[in-house]
Amino acid sequence: QVQLQESGPRLVKTSETLSLTCTVSGGSITYYYWSWIRQSPGKELEWIGYVYYSDSPKYNPALQSRVTMSVDTSKNQFSLNLTSATAADTAVYYCARYSGNYFQHWGLGTLVTVSS
Amino acid sequence: EIVLTQSPGTLSLSPGERATLSCRASENIDTSLGWYQQRPGQAPRLLVYHASSRATGVPARFSGSGSGTDFILTISSLEPEDFAVYYCQHRGSWQTFGQGTKLEIK
């Protein structure tokens, strides 16, 4: 059974880069697309983007100018970098496995707070 | 950009009752729609994909229907653990989620 675990700083200063890593266990990261999704407090889900180990990532147009995703096959991990963070980026960030147009497996999520 | 609109925003029902949740797409999306359940403090969980296929391990009381622009998630007889927020999702040019329906205990 595949499991995903988010990790990274819980507190990010305004204007700095928000960086998270998702560690995948129970299967190879090379077989699927992998995604980041966030949820601001009390709000709906917002897709950030997805990445495949041998293809160009695809990002939400609203965030595209600030987002970078990558895959590290040697560690079975994928990562998210979101530059120029503001309070509006405060959210629970989820990593998820994307397959057949749906998000089949999710991490538990990690709350990241952006503050000066 | 395809917009998904869910209704109602909040649905108040009692255990044992039938729940009907709606998701409307701004354009024809055939059957390319998923439903997710999010319990408080938990990650979302895929319930239904391709509009009507139950995901692995999802109880039979959950069923999805619809095609084109109008979709329904039905819970035939509510259990206490079903009270949660439900989201619909579509893969268009990019991923889109509805704003959610909160199913609360009456």
Q: Which of B42, B45, B97 sits opposite A44 (nearest CB)?
A: B97
Helices (H) and strands (E) in chain B, counts: 0, 11
Q: Cβ–Cβ of B44/A106 closer than 8 Å?
A: yes
Report whether pLDDT(B83) > 80. Answer: yes
B101 contacts on A by Cβ (under 8 Å)? none
| Closest residue, chain B, to A35 (C-alpha) | B95
**How many Å apart are CA B79 and CA B99, to the nearest integer?**
23
Q: Cβ–Cβ of A45/B87 closer than 8 Å?
A: yes
Q: Which of B44, B45, B94 sits opposite A45 (nearest CB)?
A: B44
Q: In sequence order, what are the residues at sequence separation of 6 or more whose Cβ sits closer than 8 angstroms to the Cβ of residue A7?
A: A20, A21, A22, A23, A110
First to last CA, chain A: 40
Write the pLDDT tens digit of every residue in B23-76. 999 999 999 999 999 999 999 999 999 999 999 999 999 999 999 999 999 999
Q: In sequence order, what are the residues at sequence separation of 6 or more whose Cβ sits closer than 8 angstroms to the Cβ of residue B57?
A: none
**How many Å apart are CA B39 and CA B58, to the nearest integer?**
14
| Chain B interface includes A60 (CB < 8 A) | yes
DSSP one-letter string for B56-80: TT--TTEEEEEETTEEEEEESS--G
Which site among A4, A33, A44, A59 would you substitute to test the B interface, given the most B Cβ atoms closer than 10 Å to its Cβ?
A44
CA distances to A67, B62, B89, B106 from B56, in Å: 32, 12, 18, 29
| Closest residue, chain B, to A6 (C-alpha) | B43
| Chain B interface includes A70 (CB < 8 A) | no
Residue B94: its pLDDT value, please? Answer: 77
Bridge partners of A94, per DSSP, are: A37
DSSP one-letter string for A26-59: SS-GGGSEEEEEEE-TT--EEEEEEE-TTS--EE
Write the pLDDT tens digit of every residue in A20-56. 999 999 999 999 999 999 999 888 899 999 999 888 9
Residue B97: its pLDDT value, please? Answer: 94
A97 contacts on B by Cβ (under 8 Å)? none
A110 contacts on B by Cβ (under 8 Å)? none
User: What confidence tier does B13 reach under pLDDT thresholds 50, 70, 90?
Assistant: very high
Count of CB atoms within 10 A of residue A85's CB?
21
Please give the residue that has the higher pLDDT: either B92 or A76: A76
Q: Which of A35, A61, A109 sits opposite B43 (nearest CB)?
A: A109
Bridge partners of A77, per DSSP, are: A23, A72
Report whether pLDDT(B93) > 80. Answer: no
Longest dimension (CA), chain B: 39
Strand B101-105 to B10-13 pairing: parallel
Q: Cβ–Cβ of A101/B32 closer than 8 Å?
A: yes
Element at B1 (helix H, strand E): none
Contact between residue B63 and residue B46 where contact means Cβ atoms under 8 Å apart: no
| Closest residue, chain B, to A109 (C-alpha) | B43
| Both tokens assigned to A111 | 């709350």
Mean pLDDT of chain A: 95
Q: Give how far the C-alpha of residue A36 lies from the chain's centroid of Cα atoms, to the nearest Å.
A: 3
